[in-house]
Structure formats: C-alpha cells, structure tokens
Chains A and B, each alone.
Chain A
Amino acid sequence: MHSVPGDRLFGLALWGAALSVAAVFAWLFVDLARLGLGALSWDFITTAPENAGRDGGIASILVSTLLILGVAVGVAAPVGLGAAVWLNTYTRAGGGTGRRIRLALDGLAGMPSIVFGLFGNAFFSVYLGLGFSILSGGLTLAAMILPVFIRTVEAGLGAVDDGWRRGAAALGLTQSAALAHVILPAAAPAIGAGLMLGIGRAAAETAALIFTSGYVDRMPESLSDSGRALAVHIYDLSMNVAGGDTHAAASALVLVALVACANLLAVALSRRLLTRRLAL
C-alpha cells in the first residue's frame, strides 16, 4: 500500500497535535522539577512551614489536605453509593425522574469548582455556621465529587449481570442481601474507580477551598480548625509570597505525585473491571 500526499499530511498533523500536547506537559513538568526538585526532601514533607512557606516544609499542609480529603470521601462515598443504588434500582429505564436526575448530575459534574466554592461558603461556612474549617472544605469537596462518583458507580451497577439479580430474587434473598453480597461486590471495581477519580479531582482543588477551608497554615487541631490544602498553598506561595516560588514548585511536585497515584489507581481498577467482565 502506498501513501497519498494528502494522507501523509494528515498523519503529520496528527503527530503534531499529539506531540504538542506531550510537549506542553513535559515543559510544565521539567519547569517544576528544575525549580522544585532541589527543595524536595524528607524534611520538606515532615516539617511545618515557616516564614509564610518560604522556609520549612509542608507537614501541616499535607495533614490538612488529607483531613479535607478524608471528610470529602467519608461523606461522598456512602451518600453517593446510596444515590447510585437508588438510581439503578428504583428508576425505570427511560423514566422521567431518573432522566432528570441524571441530567442534573451531568450538569453538576461540569460545573466550575469556584461555583461549588461559593455554594460551600454560603451554605456550610455561613448558613450552617461551620466557618472556615476543614469540615466546610471537606463537605464542599464532597458536593463537588458526588456527581461524577454517582454516575461512575451507577454505570458499574448497570453492568452487573441481570441474571444475578433474578437468581437472587428466585432464591428468596431480600433486595438488601442481594445488594450487599452479590451486586455491590461485583461492582466494586467501578466503585473504587469512581472514588479515585473523585479523590484525584478533590486533591487538585483550589477554588472550592479558598472560601471554605481557608488559608491558615498551622497544624490543624480539629476538623473545625481552618486548614490550608496543598493546592491552596501552591496558589498562595506563587501569588502572594515573594520568594515562595521554589517551595511552590516543590509542593506542586508532591501534589502531582498524589494526583497521579490516585489516577493510576483509578485506571488499574477500571481495567480490572473490564477484564473481569470479559472473563464472564
């Protein structure tokens, strides 16, 4: 087969597009590494920030980040699981209620995070009186990751073999027993993947947290303390702190590693789901 000039041009254009995407990422990463790799060390991770973050490390920031993520996942996982099971079990295929709710979820999934930040500030911080706290931030992130999580889990539940449901019913199992022992375990990879996608998105979040969990870079003592998330720390160092660039880059490297781990785990889980479905 010989190639026509038009085809070759088309191939080149595709290569160009792919390479430019890779180049942007490489440039970004090399830039971060050049600036921040020197500052990265075990001490950086385990000591508290000093001098507005120019010196010291990010220990308290990491703790705050993990606490915020913990609250977000701890709230989003059970609520999202319940919502997904409800959508899967009680809404008829093609029914109006289910369609409207799914549409709303898809809309919310594409909502800019700053909107969630404003909502979280108005609702959790002010209306519920939680103030600038890890709790407010975590709850706001929970609201933010719920739509994607619910839709992922629902898709996973939908992929579960209907024969198992009917088999469980024919054995006189209750719906909750079938769910707990058969359906949810079968959908576990999808649940894990949805959770990891959510964690990846939440860990990288800045806008939704500035107005809810705040800026304070001290080690948090409880969930009602304000806590500064890693992404907020990076934003603050690079925008408001002169001479904070090195530590901003180092923090960014830590964050990239965190998000990459979450995403790799998500990919691995969904791949397992796929191979398992093929094996059946």
Chain B
Amino acid sequence: MNPHTLGCIEAGTPCCVPVPHLSIENLAVSYGDTPVLSDVSLDIYKGCITALIGPSGCGKTSFLNALNRLTDLIPGARVEGRLRLVDGANSLDLLDPGLDVRALRRRVGMIFQRPNPFPLSIRRNLELPLREHGMRRADALAHKIETALSDVGLWEEVRDRLDAPALALSGGQQQRLCIARALVLEPEILLMDEPCSALDPIASGVVEEMIQSLSGRYTVVIVTHNLAQARRIGNYAAFFWMRERIGQLVEFGRCRQIFDAPVHPATAAYIGGMRG
C-alpha cells in the first residue's frame, strides 16, 4: 500500500497516488560557518499542503528560503544537498549555480510573515510582476488581476478602488493581496512563512480558509507555529527540531499520523505540549 494517501480518512482505496513535486535529499543550510539546518530529506507532494512545524530557530524559514533560492539574498548563506523540482519526467536541479532564479521564482512563489504589499496602488501591485515577466496587453492584464483577486476573495472588497494605495488596506486584506500577487504569476508552488501570525484572529481565519482552498491546484508549503492551524489545513506535516543547535527534520508524514500517532518522542512531546 502506498504510505502517502491523502486526507484524514484512513479507510478505503485512494483515487490517486501522490506525486512528488519537490524532491529534497540531504539538504543543509549554513550561514557563514554556522550550520542552521542539516540532513533534511523529504518529498513535497503535488497539490498538497505540507505544514512545517517545530520550535522557533530550528531552521524552518531557512528551509523555505532555500526552496526558491531566496537564500541567495543572504550574504554568506550556503545551501548543500540535492533539491529538485519534479515535473513529469523532467526534473530541475534548483541548486545549480547557473539556474535562472527569476524563472524559478515565477514557478515557486512566496508569502512572508509580515504582509509586504508595495507602496503602490492595488492594481499596480499585481500589474508590476506581470509586466516585468513580459505581459503587456491591457485586457489580459485586467483579466488576470480580476482572477487573482477573486481567488483570494478580495475582488468584491476592492473592485471599486483598484487605484487606491495598497497600504490603506487592513492587515488581512494586505496579506490576501500578497497571495494574489503571487498567484497572478500562476506559480506551481507557494511557500508561506507564517502567513497568519501577524494578523488578528478573524483575519487569520479568513486567510487560513483561503489557503485551504488552494490545495488541489497549488502545492503549498507552509510554516506555522499554530499547531491547530497546521492540523486543520495540512495534508502532510513535517516536524523540525534542534539537535546540537542545528535544525533537523525529525518526522514527516500525513498530518493525522503526526498529530494522533507521532512516532518520535520529540514530536509527541511537542504536540503534547500543545494539548497540555
């Protein structure tokens, strides 16, 4: 039986076999001489939501940054191991120094902890990435913008004020705009670094539901400190922990297994802490 069936129901035959989208082997990240993450191996499955959980400082954000080479922006950062973007029979070596990172980042979008819409109008926020990737036709631009805003549930709220400054939106709206800005480029994978932690509970709930709706179309990797949220929206969960001050992947599996029947004692203790 395939160990990676989807959903929270255990019985029955799965309709499809999950396919790896990102294949990660022995990934290690270090800043200067300080290793922060070592020996991470896992597959991120296509169309699924994978939640990364674990205490602060165990390398989850570094892991996420390595996946779209945002580590390139950090002076002295080094990523080693094997990291491949699988697309049918083809696979792309993401750690290739000659890789076109702009093309990669178009396929692998990222949402940050603090909403970071540009200090431009709502429309310009979405138009800018499209234009920079070569799309110029006005009707196509307008169509894509409407689709992206509708997908994040923002279209009805902002359709009459697309030219208003994006920074005038509320925090939750700003975060959804940032997700729309990533979606407008039609990426395959979305990386999210605690996208709800800077929002109030209501806005957080709206964004969470929105993220959940992405599963099935996008491959989502989400870092979250909110275990209840990880459990609600994740198909898979990866638990990171520190050994000798270096972050490591301790356990990876289906969300229900990780939360209900963790194998590793550290996972059990961490999950237990949430309940206790």
Contacts and interface: CB of A to CB of B under 8 A. Distances in A.
Interface of A: 92, 161, 163-174, 177, 181-182, 185-186, 279-280
B178 A172 contact: no
Given A171-B106, A182-B118, A279-B167, 5 more contacts: A164-B118, A166-B73, A169-B70, A171-B105, A177-B132
Closest 4 CB pairs of A and B: A163-B116, A170-B110, A172-B105, A172-B102
Interface string B157-185: 00000000001000000000010011001
B217 to A, nearest CB: 19
10 contacts: A92-B75, A163-B114, A164-B119, A166-B73, A170-B68, A171-B132, A172-B101, A172-B185, A181-B118, A182-B120
Contacts of A92: 75
A161 B116 contact: yes
B128 interface: yes
Nearest to A95: B75
Contacts, number: 68
Contacts of B129: 171-173
Given A173-B132, A174-B102, A167 B178 contact: yes
A170 B109 contact: yes
Interface residues of B, number: 27
Interface of B: 68, 70, 73, 75, 101-106, 109-110, 112, 114, 116, 118-120, 128-129, 132-133, 167, 178, 181-182, 185
A182 B167 CA distance: 13
B105 A167 contact: no
B105 A166 contact: no
B119 A185 contact: yes
B103 A172 contact: yes
Nearest to B133: A172
Nearest to B111: A170
Given A163-B114, A280-B167, A169 B119 contact: no
A265 B146 CA distance: 41
B73 A174 contact: no
A186 B117 CA distance: 12
B155 to A, nearest CB: 20
